[in-house]
Chain A
Amino acid sequence: MRFYPPETIVSPLKLIRRERLLPAPGEILVEEGERVDPVRVIGVAHVPGGFHILNVAQILGVSNRAARRLLKVQAGQDVKRGQLLAGRRGWGGQACKSPVDGRVTGSGGGRLLIEAAPQDIEVRAHSYGVIAQVYPNRGVVIETTGSLIQGVWGNGQEGFGVLRVMVRSREGTLKERSIDPSSRGVVMVGGSSLDRAALERAVELQVRGIIVGGIQPDLLEEVQKLPFPVIATEGVGVIPMSTHIFQMLSTHDGREAILDGRCQTGWDALRPEIVVPLPTEGKADMAQYQDRPLRPGDRVRAVRAPHTGVTGTVMELPAMPAHLETDARLPAAKVQPEGGGAPLLIPIMNLEVLR
């Protein structure tokens, strides 16, 4: 029977196109074909400032209709702090003044809406590459080549720095004692996880990022507050990093890596990723996703206990379903783990293809 498991990209060399969007409409400062580095400002977003709603009718003690007649400003008009917006003539006449510098953007029901001046926020490229496309006022598409590794969980932060593999094996735990002052400013690569002491030390030394197999659930809250990116390649828990990913990161030890720890589940799912930019002369994997069923020879990764993180090669797709410890009978694949060991029978639903 044909099965199409989900895929994770773990590619040594790939052409990568990524959108970089402004959080609000603004100006784009780069042009198509321009080469950028991570710190290059690609655009400035005009993020709306705060707003104030003034109940003019109430302040002046008049009806909504009367308030409209007493307005001295109209929608679209810029106003200064303290400027008269509406008022009544004569003795004891009330006045309604603007509490901020801003613009009148709406009125109705005896009220005025004043938006404070927008704040300008610079958005950086956060990548090495070439501007492939410009969306006017909105953002750009940056094209680059390099190794691409999709993670599973991230703390929402972005950053870049030089990779340093801190453990001897993919099963190793990132420990406090292995983090010395020379780790300042690097992206640390751990094995199966890191402990609390190591996390505190990493914060103290202002590392640029952390990549591990799993994040222990009791550290999740703290990790989410960190100012630098933390990416788990396998999931939540103590999970040895996939052999393939650990080998690839070890190969890039000492190279600069770009980390995007943004992660979302549900309708707008988003996976964190690690990019190691590499120069290329047309050798990058340009191929788009190929829709084909799982078959012997495919490289796969197990994504559920008890084999989470195990990578291997599909040897066979048995016709008969496998009988699991839960008593369920499900289609399975016979997988030869990388690094040796006996073949494993893993439900196909719990596999993803590594491409």
Chain B
Amino acid sequence: MATEQTIGSILAVDCGAVLTKAVLLDRVSGSYRFIARGEALTTVKAPWLDIAVGVQHAIEQIEDITGRTLLDAGHHIITPQRDGGIGVDVFVAVGSAARPVRVILAGLVPEMSLSSAARAVAGTYSAVEGVIIQEPRRRMSSEEQVHLILHSQPDVVCITGGTDGGAALPVLELVEMAALAYSMMEEERRPRLVFAGNAALRERVVEIASGIAEIHAVENVRPALDLENLNGVRVELDSLYRTQHLGRLPGVEMLTDWSHMPLIPSAEAFSRLVQYLWYLDESPKGTLGIDLGAVNTTIAAVFGGRLYVTIRGDLGAVQGGRRILARRGHESIARWMPLPITPEQLLGNLLNREVRPSTVPQKPEELWLEQAVARETIRDALQTARPGWQPDSAQLYRQMMPLFDPIVVSGGVLAGAPRPGQVALMILDAVEPIGVSTLLVDANGLAPVLGAVAMVKPAATVEALDNGAIINLATAICPVGVARKGDLVLRVRVHYQEGGGTLEVEVPYGSLEVLPLPAGQEAVLELQPLRHFDVGLGGPGKGGKRRVHGGLVGLIVDARGRPLQLPHTPVERQAQVQQWLWDIGG
């Protein structure tokens, strides 16, 4: 393997649940650039049952595009690079193609230890299959508890409860009940027992369950009433996912052999990149990353350099639709459509998409439906993520999003939207950002792999980003305040650097405006809010100047209000959604 100093070309792959993406980075004129990408089906399932086959298919596409030879006759990666551009110096792989860890949470009080445990689980590739509550008022019967463990077939039962030195008896009862359930299961099918409760009880827990369960005692998720420690549970579940799920994918040995390291979870690599983006200007605002995969959704938020990761292993652009439909109903998705759709049509479409997750919409109405599901999926994932954030000064208003700049989005439905305006509108509708935010789109699926590349060659990530690996979509200006529709709420002056012209616009409340600022151009934005509206420049009514870069869409002024209100009647709503699509070029 090449040392960091000698690394030239880098081939990175991201093995998603549905598609595998391969990306080639190489030095051009002294700095790293994105060269080409390939994409193929992930081949974990029949008939292939070998994850490496999909990786080889994706690499073949890069060979076809570039004319370079990267694989040998036996379909193995050629490394290090040889003369004539044959092979690559380094191969790195990230993945999310393994099913999430199935967890049952058990604890005393839903609002205390159980909510902490749920937050801990949300930071890993895990899905909560059931919750056992021991609190007297909401207590499940012994039979119900055992039944849940027996029939959910979890990988882990995570028992929490009691501050350190606090409650003992009810916590031990949970352990005893789990032990009873385990005694009814075949030994090789017994889930791991993770104890993350009152640390003083560890010995008793071992006494009760040793010989019955594999016990892993980790730090208490709630060591004191006002203290939360999510690290122990997270490390435990993360390790289980890496070793028992990702690490056991069929054919994964070949990838680890090529890269000389285990497959890195995609969410970890993506989050690393989002954290890096925050460090670029160490803004008092937060940085937000959204990776909307077919099966998983990752939300990575950074405030003051601290990273908060939320992974929804049960919710993705493809697999999430029916879940949202079941929980929130047809209207939650239909409200984002410019055309009417019946509940039957919606269900049929979602089912067909689940059966064939790699397909793409050919008709506009199917595209809008996918984008509607994407909006709701992101909103749902953000709802899970937000309670765990500590945004400090970035949080201007309690009920609204903290200030974010930039917001970066990745994943097929977002990055693959045919028109940039559609991506921008999905972000604005789903995130409802406030103030001034730069919107970035990972059009080539580079974000997770760049995060992984940073582990072997940090300079490559830095230079690839500088060279436009992540594309500037737009700068969004989202004023916050109360007004009637049509009232002027913001004056915008755009002083263009190139050509020196100025554009002046008065923005009425309720509107969505796009001002020209093409990619590669810069401008100084002068904002003057009216009626005490707040654009995040020091408080209500306060304006100021900001240098901004152009993007695929330009400058967007989203004066539709926060929280975003949609018309009540379906006909009006559809007309409004269509108008917004037209306004933004979607």
A residues with CB within 8 A of B: 1-7, 25, 48, 51-53, 55, 75, 105-106, 108-109, 111, 113, 115, 152-153, 216-218, 220, 235-237, 265-269, 288-289, 291, 293, 303-307, 324-330, 347, 349-350, 352
Residue pair B57, A237 in contact (C-beta under 8 Å): no
**Of B45, B186, B208, the contact of A25 (CB 8 Å cutoff):** B186
Given contacts A6-B41, A111-B176, A289-B48, contact A48 B184 (CB under 8 A): yes
Residue pair B176, A108 in contact (C-beta under 8 Å): yes
User: Could you give 27 example pairs across A and B, Cβ below 8 Å?
Assistant: A1-B65, A2-B60, A2-B64, A3-B40, A7-B47, A48-B184, A51-B146, A105-B184, A106-B184, A109-B172, A109-B173, A109-B176, A113-B180, A113-B184, A152-B356, A216-B348, A217-B351, A218-B344, A289-B47, A324-B418, A326-B366, A328-B367, A330-B360, A347-B360, A349-B358, A349-B359, A349-B360
Q: What is the CB-to-nearest-CB distance from A27 to chain B, in angstroms, rounded to a whole number?
A: 16
B73 contacts the other chain (CB 8 A)? no
When distances are taken between beta carbons in the complex, the residues of chain A under 8 Å from B354 are: 265-266
Q: Is the interface of B mostly helix, strand, loop or mixed?
A: helix
Given contacts A2-B64, A217-B347, A235-B355, contact A328 B416 (CB under 8 A): yes
Given contacts A218-B344, A328-B416, contact A109 B352 (CB under 8 A): no
A-B complex: 4 closest residue pairs judged by Cβ atoms: A109-B176, A106-B183, A217-B344, A217-B348
Residue pair A108, B179 in contact (C-beta under 8 Å): yes
**11 additional contacts (CB under 8 A) given A109-B180, A217-B348:** A4-B40, A6-B358, A51-B143, A51-B184, A108-B208, A111-B180, A220-B347, A236-B347, A266-B319, A305-B366, A350-B359
Which residues of chain B from 385 to 412 have a CB within 8 Å of any chain A CB? none
Q: What is the CB-to-nearest-CB distance from A219 to chain B, in angstroms, rounded to a whole number?
A: 9
When distances are taken between beta carbons in the complex, the residues of chain B under 8 Å from A347 are: 360, 362
When distances are taken between beta carbons in the complex, the residues of chain B under 8 Å from A5 are: 41
Q: What is the CB-to-nearest-CB distance from A331 to chain B, in angstroms, rounded to a whole number?
A: 10
Q: What is the CB-to-nearest-CB distance from A64 to chain B, in angstroms, rounded to a whole number?
A: 9
Residue pair A237, B348 in contact (C-beta under 8 Å): yes
Complexed CA–CA distance, A102 and B180 (Å): 16
Which residues of chain B from 299 to 349 have a CB within 8 Å of any chain A CB? 319, 344-345, 347-349
Complexed CA–CA distance, A5 and B418 (Å): 22
When distances are taken between beta carbons in the complex, the residues of chain A under 8 Å from B48 are: 289, 291
Interface size on B, residues (CB 8 A): 50
B61 contacts the other chain (CB 8 A)? yes
Complexed CA–CA distance, A237 and B360 (Å): 18
B142 contacts the other chain (CB 8 A)? yes
Complexed CA–CA distance, A318 and B366 (Å): 25
When distances are taken between beta carbons in the complex, the residues of chain B under 8 Å from A6 are: 41, 356, 358
B99 contacts the other chain (CB 8 A)? yes
Complexed CA–CA distance, A237 and B351 (Å): 10
Residue pair B61, A1 in contact (C-beta under 8 Å): yes
Complexed CA–CA distance, A235 and B173 (Å): 48
Residue pair B176, A304 in contact (C-beta under 8 Å): no
Residue pair A303, B360 in contact (C-beta under 8 Å): no
Q: What is the CB-to-nearest-CB distance from A344 to chain B, in angstroms, rounded to a whole number?
A: 11
**Of A4, A75, A324, the contact of B362 (CB 8 Å cutoff):** A324
Residue pair B64, A106 in contact (C-beta under 8 Å): no
Complexed CA–CA distance, A106 and B182 (Å): 9
B295 contacts the other chain (CB 8 A)? yes
Most chain A C-beta atoms within 10 Å of own C-beta, residue among B41, B61, B345, B359: B359
Residue pair B363, A326 in contact (C-beta under 8 Å): yes
Q: What is the CB-to-nearest-CB distance from A17 to chain B, in angstroms, rounded to a whole number?
A: 12
Residue pair A267, B99 in contact (C-beta under 8 Å): yes
**Of B45, B172, B184, B418, the contact of A327 (CB 8 Å cutoff):** B418
Given contacts A266-B319, A326-B367, contact A105 B348 (CB under 8 A): no
When distances are taken between beta carbons in the complex, the residues of chain A under 8 Å from B143 are: 51-53
Q: What is the CB-to-nearest-CB distance from A130 to chain B, in angstroms, rounded to a whole number?
A: 22
When distances are taken between beta carbons in the complex, the residues of chain A under 8 Å from B347 are: 217, 220, 236
Complexed CA–CA distance, A184 and B263 (Å): 55
- CB-based nearest A residue for B75: A291
When distances are taken between beta carbons in the complex, the residues of chain A under 8 Å from B366 are: 304-305, 326
B139 contacts the other chain (CB 8 A)? no
**Of B40, B53, B360, the contact of A350 (CB 8 Å cutoff):** B360
Residue pair A325, B362 in contact (C-beta under 8 Å): yes
Residue pair A266, B295 in contact (C-beta under 8 Å): yes
When distances are taken between beta carbons in the complex, the residues of chain B under 8 Å from A220 are: 347, 351
Residue pair A236, B352 in contact (C-beta under 8 Å): yes
Complexed CA–CA distance, A115 and B180 (Å): 11
Which residues of chain B from 50 to 70 have a CB within 8 Å of any chain A CB? 53, 57, 60-61, 64-65
Residue pair B184, A304 in contact (C-beta under 8 Å): no
Complexed CA–CA distance, A329 and B443 (Å): 14
Residue pair A304, B361 in contact (C-beta under 8 Å): yes
B364 contacts the other chain (CB 8 A)? yes
Q: What is the CB-to-nearest-CB distance from A342 to chain B, in angstroms, rounded to a whole number?
A: 17
Complexed CA–CA distance, A121 and B431 (Å): 52
When distances are taken between beta carbons in the complex, the residues of chain B under 8 Å from A105 are: 183-184
Residue pair A325, B344 in contact (C-beta under 8 Å): no
Complexed CA–CA distance, A305 and B345 (Å): 13
Complexed CA–CA distance, A6 and B40 (Å): 10
- CB-based nearest A residue for B186: A25
When distances are taken between beta carbons in the complex, the residues of chain B under 8 Å from A330 are: 360
Complexed CA–CA distance, A7 and B43 (Å): 12
Complexed CA–CA distance, A237 and B344 (Å): 9
Given contacts A217-B348, A236-B348, A269-B45, contact A113 B183 (CB under 8 A): yes
B260 contacts the other chain (CB 8 A)? no
Q: What is the CB-to-nearest-CB distance from A235 to chain B, in angstroms, rounded to a whole number?
A: 5
Complexed CA–CA distance, A108 and B354 (Å): 45
Complexed CA–CA distance, A53 and B173 (Å): 13
When distances are taken between beta carbons in the complex, the residues of chain B under 8 Å from A53 are: 142-143, 146, 180
Q: What is the CB-to-nearest-CB distance from B346 to chain A, in angstroms, rounded to a whole number?
A: 8
Complexed CA–CA distance, A2 and B53 (Å): 13
When distances are taken between beta carbons in the complex, the residues of chain B under 8 Å from A305 are: 362-363, 366
Q: What is the CB-to-nearest-CB distance from B347 to chain A, in angstroms, rounded to a whole number?
A: 5
When distances are taken between beta carbons in the complex, the residues of chain A under 8 Å from B41 are: 4-6
Complexed CA–CA distance, A304 and B369 (Å): 14
Most chain B C-beta atoms within 10 Å of own C-beta, residue among A4, A216, A237, A291: A4
B419 contacts the other chain (CB 8 A)? yes
Residue pair A291, B53 in contact (C-beta under 8 Å): yes
Given contacts A106-B179, A265-B319, contact A328 B418 (CB under 8 A): yes
When distances are taken between beta carbons in the complex, the residues of chain A under 8 Å from B363 are: 305-306, 325-326
- CB-based nearest A residue for B364: A326
Complexed CA–CA distance, A224 and B531 (Å): 57
When distances are taken between beta carbons in the complex, the residues of chain A under 8 Å from B64 are: 1-2
**Of B53, B351, B418, the contact of A236 (CB 8 Å cutoff):** B351
Most chain A C-beta atoms within 10 Å of own C-beta, residue among B57, B60, B355, B364: B355
Residue pair A109, B208 in contact (C-beta under 8 Å): yes
Given contacts A1-B65, A349-B360, contact A237 B352 (CB under 8 A): yes
Complexed CA–CA distance, A324 and B365 (Å): 13
Q: What is the CB-to-nearest-CB distance from B516 to chain A, in angstroms, rounded to a whole number?
A: 20
Given contacts A326-B363, A350-B360, contact A2 B57 (CB under 8 A): yes
When distances are taken between beta carbons in the complex, the residues of chain B under 8 Å from A237 are: 348, 352
Complexed CA–CA distance, A267 and B319 (Å): 10
Q: What is the CB-to-nearest-CB distance from B403 to chain A, in angstroms, rounded to a whole number?
A: 33
Residue pair A115, B184 in contact (C-beta under 8 Å): yes
- CB-based nearest B residue for A235: B352
Most chain A C-beta atoms within 10 Å of own C-beta, residue among B17, B142, B347, B362: B362
- CB-based nearest B residue for A308: B352
Q: What is the CB-to-nearest-CB distance from A329 to chain B, in angstroms, rounded to a whole number?
A: 8
When distances are taken between beta carbons in the complex, the residues of chain A under 8 Å from B418 are: 324, 326-329
- CB-based nearest B residue for A328: B418
Complexed CA–CA distance, A216 and B347 (Å): 10
When distances are taken between beta carbons in the complex, the residues of chain A under 8 Å from B45 are: 269
Complexed CA–CA distance, A266 and B57 (Å): 22
Q: What is the CB-to-nearest-CB distance from B252 to chain A, in angstroms, rounded to a whole number?
A: 16
- CB-based nearest A residue for B60: A2
